[in-house]
Amino acid sequence: MSEERETVMLAAFSGWNDACQAATNAIHQLIDAYDAREVQHISCEGYYDYQVSRPTLCRVNGHARIVWPQTTFYDIPLSPTKHCLVMLAPEPNYRWREYCRESLHIAEELGVNRIITLGSMFADCVHTRPLPIGVCDDMDCNSECDCGEYNGPVGITTILEAMARDHSFAGTSIWVSVPQYMGNDDCPMGTLALLNTLERKLGTTFETAGLAKETQEWQAKASMLVRCSNQLEDYVHHLEEDWDKAKQAKDEASAEDPRKADQLVHEAEEFLKRF
């Protein structure tokens, strides 16, 4: 009897949920690395404000073509028993509930079992330490995830996750924090952190050697930028010390009593949020 095929939908949206394009670049990495095939689209009409998500002009073989913002679904065969349905789009401006219903209908048609959303956000973190990753499953939020305590504005990923739960999909949200002092240029380190976490969730391995090299180059550029400003250098050094102290507290607590580790880290994070 053959093993039942698992189909996971990965979703990432450019815009508010995608600092430094880390989340959408993770999706592009997978599309480029595998034999990805377009299988579905959601029309842009009624979902986008074209003064925000503008259509673009492309010239192919001398012919001009208008490309409108749209949602595209790709099928990516990770293995004979595991497929990914990849959803890539700009964050829509209008009718989010209808948009999510249409997205989930496509997921149902294509046999999706689980939905994983990817996101990235600016935060007080540094390029010289591992970037913070938050992972939240339907039934189990890890200690680095603040979703159970957060109150405030949300993006389309949160709406999609909530409606997916209502439709009985299993769901996971993965977010990476990226250094805000690096501006909005691409952050390969954030993209790599998302893919490494996704590997563990899917039980697979991606080809990330090229991305790892880009990360090293990006870190070298960041270090050069920091050295050019005494104020920025002091700021980064302060964040490094905070990170090192939190890690030391966690390591010491784990050695004494593993159950205390997560609580101490949470208390340290809450303390640091006051600064």
> Does residue 48 contact residue 150 with C-beta atoms inside 8 Å?
no
Bridge partners of 115, per DSSP, are 9, 171
49-53: long-range contacts (C-beta < 8 A, 24 or more apart)?
Answer: 49/93, 49/94, 52/93, 53/15, 53/90, 53/93
pLDDT of residue 1: 37
Q: In this structure, what token pair is assigned to residue 252?
A: 């010491």
Residue position matching structure tokens 């009624």: 46
Q: What is the pLDDT along the chain (275 residues), one digit of tens a residue?
A: 345 567 899 999 999 999 999 999 999 999 999 889 999 999 888 999 999 888 899 888 888 889 888 999 999 988 777 789 999 999 999 999 999 999 999 999 999 989 999 999 999 999 999 999 999 886 445 444 555 566 788 999 999 999 999 998 989 999 999 999 999 999 999 999 999 999 999 989 998 999 999 999 999 999 999 999 999 999 999 999 999 998 888 877 767 665 555 665 566 555 544 44
> Residue 91: what residue type?
E
CA atoms of 205 and 213, how far apart (whole Å) = 17
All domains in the chain, ordered by first residue: 6-207 (3.40.50.10900)
Strands 6-14 and 114-123: parallel
pLDDT of residue 139: 46
First to last CA, the chain: 58
Measured CA to CA in angstroms, residue 244 lies from 127, 209, 225, 241, 265 at distances of 13, 27, 22, 5, 11
> Edge-to-edge strand order for the sheet containing 82-90?
37-42, 71-79, 82-90, 6-14, 114-123, 170-179, 133-137
SS (H, E, C) 203-220: CCCCCCHHHHHHHHHHHH
CA atoms of 195 and 176, how far apart (whole Å) = 10
User: What would the pLDDT profile of 136-149 be if each residue is shown by its tens digit?
Assistant: 886 445 444 555 56
pLDDT of residue 53: 87
pLDDT of residue 35: 84
CA atoms of 153 and 133, how far apart (whole Å) = 20
